[in-house]
Every structure is written in C-alpha cells, then in structure tokens.
Amino acid sequence: MRYLPINQIQQDMVLGQELYDGRGNLLLPKYTKLTEDHISYIIFHGITGLYIDDSFSKEAEIREVLEPEVRRETLRIVSKLFQRTLEGDTLTDPEEDALRKKVENVVSSVLDNPDVLYNLLELKTFDDYTYCHSTSVAVIAGVLGAKCCLNEEQLKDLVMAGFLHDIGKVYVDEDIINAPRRLTEAERAKVMDHPRLGYEFLKENYNFHETVNRSVYEHHEWYNGGGYPCRKKSQDILYLARILKVADVFDAMTSNRSYHSPYLPSEVMEYIMARSGMEFDPEVVDVATKELSVYPVGCEVELSNGAHALVIRNHRGYSLRPTIKQLETGEIMDLSDNRKSWSITITKLLM
C-alpha cells in the first residue's frame, strides 16, 4: 500500500483501506476501484490523503494498532458520547458499558502489539473531526503510556481520558472552535476554559476515576508552567495528563483543520522535540520519538542521493531509519542495518 495526497489520486486507482466517516459509517470498502465520483465524494469529506493498493508497494504493509472494525465501533460510541453531551444528556448504562469495553479493547491492542509503531496517517474526515481526534488521541496515548511503564489500570484511565479530553468543547461555540482567524480575548478565554468545563461535567455526571477527570483538566498544562488553566508545572501535573498532552498535540498538528493544513509527521516530531522540557515532559518526548513513526509506512521520501523511495517498514527505536524501496530501481534498503546505506539519509517526506 502507498499513501498519496488527495491531489495525486486518480481514476482507476484501487483503495487500499476501508474509508469511514467520524461516526464510524462506512463510506467506501477496501479495494474499491475509484471513479471520478468517488474522488469528489472523498474530497467532499475533507480527507486529505489515501492508501492505494498497487503491486509496486506490496511490501509496504500497514499494521494498525486497532483493527478497522474496532476503530469503527469506537468512533460510533465516542460520537454518541459527544452527541448525548451536546443534547444535555448522558450515556445510558449500556452505552457507558460499551465505552468502557472500547477502553479495554484499546488497552489490550496496545499491550498485545508492543512492536507496532503508531501510524500517524490515521484517516480523518473533516466534518466529524472531534470524534476522530478523540479516538486517535486515546490510541496514541495508550501506545505512549504502555512504553512509559503504566500498569493496566493506569492505562485504562489514560485511554478513557483520551476519549474524554475535549468533552468540555461541547460548551464552546463551534464557530469559535473552527474560526479560521485570530480569536478575540473573550473567545480565547472561552476556549481555554474547556478543560475545566469538561472536568466539571464529568464529575457531575459520571463516576470515572478522579485520575481520569484530572487528566482531562490538565491536558493543556505545560511542563514549564506556561499552559492553562492552572499553570501547573512539571511533577504537579498528573503523569497521565503529560502523556495526553503529547498525544493531543501530535494528532491535532497532523490533522486537517479549518485554521491550518496538516503538518507532516516529521515536522510535528521536530516541533515536539524542540519544545521538550518547555511544553512537554522530556521523558514522554523521549518515548514518543521511539514509538511514533516519523516516516510512516507507504509514504514517499526523498533521499540524500537525490533518489525517491517508498517507506516499507519502520523499526522501533530507529524512527529516522526505516526500510525503503527505491522508486526507480526497486532496490530495497534497510537504513537501520545496512553497511552500504549508512551514508544515505532521508531528507524529505513527500506528501
């Protein structure tokens, strides 16, 4: 499979993944042969790139942390949670059980697949951004949390907090949240109140662990005390909230938003590393650099010798040195372990 930005998608290409919206509804099945109508439909949903199935990229196998079906079910229950909250209601008991079940699914997927790097090109539709974002943050946080040596109970709290972290945004006008302009002072204050609003809502309406509620409250605090709403600092911020912070920024920056186009995973990694110790906990940043793929499988990259190549495998701990397949020659090179290739570096992610 290879990943192509939407402007390079052409008629008759074969879809390499299932496409679904932010509520878990199937848009197009895997292996659909794309028509012009399909492409317009995909663009309409704000999808910025797709995995395509072709013979050249057959070695590039994407291993996702969550099976597509589990991800779809997760999106369904997360969107239900936000819908209910918007309507001033709470989840019914069976729905809350379903949400807890999804937390368990994410935690067991993370623990059962310790070798799978999180693929930062998780598909997101534009209209239901919040549900996709909350789901992705929960999974990224779970991946990071497992490597930050959290126990299973802590992991469950972290993943639940991932699903819930932005629930307070329900109380902020959507026009303000999606405003493609500079916010006024009053609007900014409203947006910056969403962690507190979420915390209050959860405390009043659900019986989640206090750790879950507090992680929601603290997910915008900065390691150096420069965040909001309480300007807490380093160890005073819950460890789970410090992990959540990294997961949140990773996912938000690689997503397509009305006020910014998606940044490349490699750019986001640079940003996070540059702000280690300032915005982010250095310990969590260190884990993130090992567990999240900077050059996701299926992407085209430019090499220091000028050639172009497709990333076909990532190696944990060596996120800058994946295995690649050169486009012109078809030669496969493992940049993490090849004496011939030590002088070759990746200079650019082409997306």
Please, which residue, 115 or 175, has the CB nearer to Fe ion?
175
Please, which residue, 1 or 197, has the CB nearer to Fe ion?
197
Closest CA to 315 of 49, 63, 139, 50: 63
Comparing every residue's Cβ against Fe ion, the nearest one is 166
Note the residue count of the chain. Answer: 351
- At 285, which amino acid appears? V
165 to 184, contacts with Fe ion by CB under 5 A?
A: 166
Closest CA to 350 of 265, 269, 275, 288: 265
Please, which residue, 23 or 245, has the CB nearer to Fe ion?
245
To Fe ion, the closest distance from the beta carbon of 214 in angstroms equals 14
To Fe ion, the closest distance from the beta carbon of 347 in angstroms equals 34
Stretch that binds Fe ion, among 24-32, 161-169, 227-235, 268-276 (CB under 5 A): 161-169
Please, which residue, 193 or 283, has the CB nearer to Fe ion?
193
First to last CA, the chain: 15
d(CA 336, CA 332): 12
To Fe ion, the closest distance from the beta carbon of 137 in angstroms equals 9
Calculate ∠ Cα 101-103-104, nearest 5°: 65
To Fe ion, the closest distance from the beta carbon of 248 in angstroms equals 6
Note whether 11 and 39 are within 8 A (CB). yes
To Fe ion, the closest distance from the beta carbon of 219 in angstroms equals 6
122 binds Fe ion, rule: CB under 5 A: no
To Fe ion, the closest distance from the beta carbon of 16 in angstroms equals 32
Please, which residue, 79 or 266, has the CB nearer to Fe ion?
79
Q: Give the count of beta carbons closer than 10 Å to the beta carbon of residue 171.
A: 16
218 binds Fe ion, rule: CB under 5 A: no
d(CA 268, CA 141): 16
For 245-271, what is the HEC assignment? HHHHHHHHHCCCECCECCCCHHHHHHH
Please, which residue, 166 or 291, has the CB nearer to Fe ion?
166
Query: Which residues are near Fe ion by CB under 5 A?
Result: 166
